Amino acid sequence: MRRPRGFTLAEVMVVMAIIGVLCGLMSGVMSRTYGASAKSVSGQLVSTMSLARLRAAATRRIHRVVVQPRQLSIWQAATSGLATPIDWQQVQVVKIPSGVVVWNAQAGALVSPGATPTQSAALAYPIEFRPDGQATASTVFVTDKAQSSFYRVLVYHASGGSYARNSW
């Protein structure tokens, strides 16, 4: 006697339940933005500033990092030397992940915590790095979308060095 072909209703329901659980797990994983923390982005900002500083010294051209809420762009002067640049050439663009916000930027390296910057949606703050090692002293404020962690990136004038610090 032959057995009937096919699947029983119980087998089909078990497979459907397993697929439903896997879809539920994957939708939770896919909605997160991995690597998009204020700490990692502030580290990325420091790396980008260090790259601009090193490029300025190596090429003997003024480099400008333009900080915007969703991206950083590195520009280099078309001419070498310390003269005020007239033309700029774009070198690199660094996108900022969607889970993090560049809140604001301001002149001066704020080494002590306690600042309360306002959010600037139209931010386009230039930081210049000169071939002699100097830079525009600046502070860039970074937070996540939930505003649960706050970091500031400091750029020092005399050395052009940049550092990330916890809290504003």
Span 15-32, pLDDT tens digits: 898 888 887 777 655 544
What residues form DSSP beta bridges with 114?
none
How far is Cα of residue 27 from the mean position of the Cα atoms in its chain? 25
Q: Rounded mean pLDDT of 103-125?
A: 88
Could you tell me which residues come within 8 angstroms of residue 111 by beta carbon, excluding any fewer than 6 positions away?
A: 154, 165
pLDDT at position 82, please? 87
Angle CA(131)–CA(151)–CA(76) in degrees, nearest 5?
A: 25
- 10-14, 19-23, 39-43, 130-134: lowest mean pLDDT where? 19-23
| Of 109, 108, 116, 107, residue with least CA distance to 143 | 116
Alpha helices, DSSP H, located in 71-142: none
Give the up-direction half-sphere exposure of residue 90: CA atoms within 13 A in the CB hemisphere: 6
Q: What is the CATH number of domain 38-166?
A: 3.55.40.10
pTM: 0.75
Does the pLDDT value for residue 4 go beyond 80?
Answer: no
Structure tokens at 76: 């280099």
Q: Please tell me which of 13-27, 33-47, 62-76 the model is most confident about, judged by mean pLDDT.
A: 62-76
- What is the reported pLDDT for 34? 55
Instruction: Work out the average pLDDT over 75-95.
Output: 92
User: DSSP 3-state assignment of 28?
Assistant: helix
- Average pLDDT of span 138-166: 91
| Angle made by CA atoms 20, 22, 24, in degrees to the nearest 5 | 70
